[in-house]
Chain A
Amino acid sequence: VTDHGGVGIKVLGVNHRTAPLEVRERFAHGAHEVPGALARVMAAGAQGGVLLSTCNRTEFYLVTEEEPAFDTVWSLLGERLPAAPTGGVREYGYVVRDREAVRHLYRVSAGLDSMILGESQIQGQVREAWEISRAQAGPVLHRLFQTALHVGSRVRTETGLGMGTASAASAGVAVAGKIFGDLAGRSALILGAGDMAELAATCLSDEGVKITLVANRTQERARAIAERLGGRAVSLEDAWAYFATTDIALCSTAAPHAVVTWERVGHIIAGRGGRPLCILDLAVPRDVDPAVAQLENVFLYDVDDLQTVAAQATARRRDEVPAAERIVEEEADHFWAWYGGLGVVPAIKEFRTRMEALRAAELERVMRQLGHLSAEDRARVEQFSEALLSKFLHQPTVALKAAAEEGRGYGLLEALRRLFGMEPPA
């Protein structure tokens, strides 16, 4: 463990494994809340801090001693959860220290710690957290987050961890992508205005798909989604005509039976002139009559199909975990060597200063006894003492620097301090 006088890299947080959604959503911090929260932790003695808050995790990355910063973090989170269990908010949380903390962030950034293995959204969230907290991060966390983004990119480039899609909504995007290629500029019609419809529509919108219409029985909800995604709200009855022009139809109504039937849309789709139409039916029970798929150039996928695509992607991603973990370990070693070096450099400097002071003092004492020496001989003796000290210090300095580069600096540093009576820095 590299420890800079009790100050070290620490992670305190809750995530999807330790806390249920209703707890996590209370801990979530908006971007505007982050500086204030970090300021409180900094006031409690932390030298640097970054707050990563997503729907799946709220984590404080700190360079600090354990107390009183830890107490501040737990009380800060506790204030958001008045009905905390008997053990307090700590029951939902965890603490990761030093090299494990570095490894933890690298795994988070790589998507190895995500609810959906390998999802890429987290890398953007790590970047955003770093940018929001930049003023309070300090040099160590600055470098840690910078390297974490590099690790995320390496894992996604060098392994297949980000390959494929791992949720039904994103699988819908992938399937549409296999028909149209680039989805940017394509148009989509959304039938239904529930959570699933909104999530899938957002996924499409994120890919550049133009959400032209949101059709629902109740206009109010449809209007809210349409406004957010830049489309127009219409009633279900008015939506059928748009099957002639839209590229993607996303269906997720709460209707108890098929609403998109051959009778309603068959003749309209036939007039498309062979242009492909991708229909994503996310509703259970299904919204689209399977007979519609018999139309030329209609590609119809229901929830089972999309879950098959998502499951395949997850299985493939699992095979890539060992390769991703290797990259994480390798990069954590690199960071740890750099971090170890931060403590070794001042220690070496202090060691050399002490030895130099000792040499000067001893030289002065011996020169008083050798008063008969000529000025030339006195200079030779001084040169000899300097050369001897330099030779004595060379090997320990080289060994310490090498050990620091290999992440083993702390052990030698401790030995140096004990052997030469050097106090650890405050």
Chain B
Amino acid sequence: VIVTLHLIVLALYGLGTALALAPFLGLPPSPRPLNIALPCAGAALHVVAISQLTPVGLGPALSMLALCLVLLQLASERLLRGSAVALLAGPLATALVGLALLSGLTPGGSAEAVGSRNAWFVLHVALSVSGVALMALAFIAAALYLLQFRELKARRFGQVFQLFPPLERLDQLNRFALLVGFPTLTLGVLLALGYGARFSGGLHVAKAQIVWGMFTWVVLGWAVWVRVVRHWAGRRAAFASIAGFSAVLLVYVALKLAQPGVERFL
């Protein structure tokens, strides 16, 4: 059931992404209600699928990240009244669901897995994944900002000009995602520490995962610091967000390659 639901979710996200990309491929734009209905339907099914999963391992984490991204995409669409966020969030979420399916999604029945269903752990995973998703949203807003900036500077009035949100709104979205993302991830990290202290000897966590988690937290903290304390905005802040998110991805890939076969490491 979980795999079937994920396959349907994959199809809905994929279709939603195709519709969002259509105007950039010279096709007529689809009606806005349809652009929202497809990811909405996908997210609803996705919630059902995830509620049956144990939040342990790579597959469930990727699936949860995809769901968070789609929910943030829908919230952004509501706030910005534009489908531009779907241009990047859509393919990313679709790819994440695909990777989750490839990594394996099972309900999990081991004592360890059942133990991991306690509230501390579930909350830790939910908050951490939400923090990373918000960081990804900040990255998406920054990328859209730079694209729109380039078009406006070059006086090109094509699809990007027409369909992307205004620069200031993208800048605000980036700032909002970082400012909400940092405390969310911080809370996720604190819950992990609390979980470790409360249930010592519980789940085994690889050192690589701790390194990557802390690195992500530091990078996100730095991105917030430059925005809030150094008052970076606009293009400079966009470059900072893109650099930070890219660094997080690169470190993840590097650690994954350096520690093959560590199942628990995300």
The answer on a CB contact under 8 Å between A178 and B233 is no
Task: Give B84 Cβ to nearest chain A Cβ, in Å.
Answer: 12
Pair A181/B165 contact, Cβ less than 8 Å: yes
Instruction: Say yes or no: A299 contacts B234, CB within 8 Å.
Output: no
Please give, as numbers and ranges, the residues of chain A lying within 8 Å of B155 by CB-CB distance.
301, 305
Is the C-beta of B167 less than 8 angstroms from some C-beta in chain A? yes
Closest to A160 in B: B29
Report the bound CA distance from A308 to B162 in whole Å.
Answer: 13
Compute how far the CA of A177 lies from the CA of B165 in the bound complex, rounded to whole angstroms: 9
Q: Which of B157, B162, B167, B235 contacts A179 (CB 8 A)?
A: B167
Write out the residue numbers on chain A whose beta carbons fall within 8 Å of the beta carbon of B162. 164, 312
Query: Are A178 and B167 closer than 8 Å at their CB atoms?
Result: yes
Bits for A296-308, please: 1 = Cβ < 8 Å to B, else 0.
Answer: 1101010001001
**Cα separation A274 to B167 with both chains bound (whole Å):** 13
Q: Are A180 and B168 in contact (CB under 8 A)?
A: yes
- Mark interface residues in B158-177 (1 if CB within 8 Å of A CB, else 0): 00011001111100100000
Interface check A309, CB cutoff 8 A: yes
CB distance from B109 to the nearest CB of A (A): 51
**B148 within 8 Å of A (CB atoms):** yes
Is A276 at the interface (CB under 8 A from chain B)? yes
Q: In the complex where A164-B162, A178-B161 touch, is A274 in contact with B234 (Cβ < 8 A)?
A: yes
* Chain A positions within 8 Å of B169 at CB level: 181
Contact A276 B167 (CB under 8 A): yes
CA–CA, A175 and B167, complex, Å: 11
Cβ-based interface call for B236 (8 A): yes
Residues in chain A near residue B152, CB distance under 8 A? 175, 178-179, 299
* Bound complex: CA A19 to CA B34 (Å): 45
How many angstroms between the C-alpha atoms of A276 and B169 in the bound complex?
13
How many residue-residue contacts, CB under 8 A, span A and B? 41
Report A297 CB to chain B, min CB distance, Å: 7
Whether A274 contacts B236 in the complex (CB less than 8 A), given A178-B152, A308-B157, comes out as yes
Q: Is B198 an interface residue (CB 8 A)?
A: no
Task: Identify which of A180, A274, A301 contacts B233 (C-beta below 8 A).
Answer: A274
* Chain B residues within 8 Å of A299, by CB: 152-153
Residue-wise interface mask of B (128-170) relative to A, using a CB-CB cutoff of 8 A (1 in contact, 0 not): 0000000000000000000010001101010001100111110
Contacting B166 at CB < 8 Å: which of A180, A274, A296, A301?
A180
Q: How far is the CB of B261 from chain A (nearest CB, A)?
A: 48
Taken together as a complex, chains A and B put the C-alpha atoms of A299 and B162 apart, in Å, by 16
CA distance A408 to B168 in the complex (A): 56
Whether B236 contacts A179 by the Cβ 8 Å rule is no
Tell me if A179 and B153 are in contact (CB < 8 A): no
A residues near B157, Cβ cutoff 8 Å? 305, 308-309, 312
Chain A positions 139 through 180: 1 when the CB is less than 8 Å from some CB of chain B, otherwise 0: 000000000000000000000000010000000000101111
CA distance A387 to B172 in the complex (A): 76
> Which residues of A in the span 255-303 have a Cβ within 8 Å of any Cβ on B?
274, 276, 293, 296-297, 299, 301
Judging by beta carbons under 8 Å apart, are A276 and B234 in contact? Answer: yes
**Known A-B contacts A299-B153, A305-B155, A312-B157; A179 and B166 likewise in contact (beta carbons under 8 Å):** yes
Complex: how many Å from CA A297 to CA B157? 18
Closest residue of A by beta carbon distance from B167? A179
- Tell whether, in the assembled complex, residue B153 and residue A181 are in contact, meaning their CB atoms are under 8 Å apart: no
- The residues of B that contact A179 with a CB separation of less than 8 Å are 152, 166-168
- Are the CB atoms of A178 and B166 closer together than 8 Å? yes
Task: Determine how close the nearest CB of chain B comes to the CB of A34; give it in whole angstroms.
Answer: 38
Which residue of chain B is the closest to A305 with respect to CB atoms? B155
| Docked complex Cα distance between A412 and B157 (Å) | 57
Q: How far is the CA of A164 from the CA of B162 in the complex (A)?
A: 8
Alpha-carbon distance A276/B166, docked complex (angstroms): 12
Interface string of A161-204 (1 = CB under 8 A from B): 00010000000000101111100000000000000000000000
In the assembled complex, the Cα of A274 lies from the Cα of B234 at a distance in Å of 8
Q: For A177, A181, A301, A308, which residue has the most chain B Cβ atoms within 10 angstroms?
A: A181
Bound complex: CA A274 to CA B232 (Å): 9
A301 to B154, CA, bound (A): 10
CB contacts (< 8 Å) of A180 on chain B: these are 166-168
State in angstroms the CA–CA spacing of A296 and B239 once bound together. Answer: 15
The interface residues of chain B lying within 8 Å CB-to-CB of A309 are 157
Residues of A within 8 A of B161 (CB): 178
* Complex: chain A residue closest to B157, CB-CB: A309
Which residues on A sit within 8 Å (CB–CB) of B165?
181
Distance, CA A274 to CA B236, complexed state (A)? 9
Within 8 A of A (CB), among B229-265: 233-236
B13 nearest CB across to chain A (Å): 26
CA distance in complex: A180, B166 (Å): 6
Whole-angstrom distance between the Cβ of A280 and the nearest chain B Cβ: 12
State the Cβ distance, A419 to closest chain B Cβ, in Å. Answer: 51
Knowing A299-B152, A308-B157, A312-B157 are in contact, say whether A177-B166 is a contact too (CB < 8 A): yes
- Between-chain CB contacts (< 8 Å), 16 pairs: A175-B152, A177-B166, A178-B161, A178-B166, A179-B166, A180-B167, A181-B165, A181-B167, A274-B233, A274-B235, A296-B235, A297-B234, A299-B152, A301-B155, A305-B157, A308-B157
- A sample of 15 more A-B contacts (CB under 8 A), given A178-B152, A299-B153, is A175-B152, A178-B167, A179-B152, A180-B168, A181-B165, A181-B167, A181-B168, A181-B172, A274-B233, A274-B236, A276-B167, A276-B234, A296-B235, A299-B152, A305-B157
Query: Which A-B residue pairs are the 5 nearest by beta carbons?
Result: A181-B166, A181-B169, A181-B168, A305-B155, A178-B166
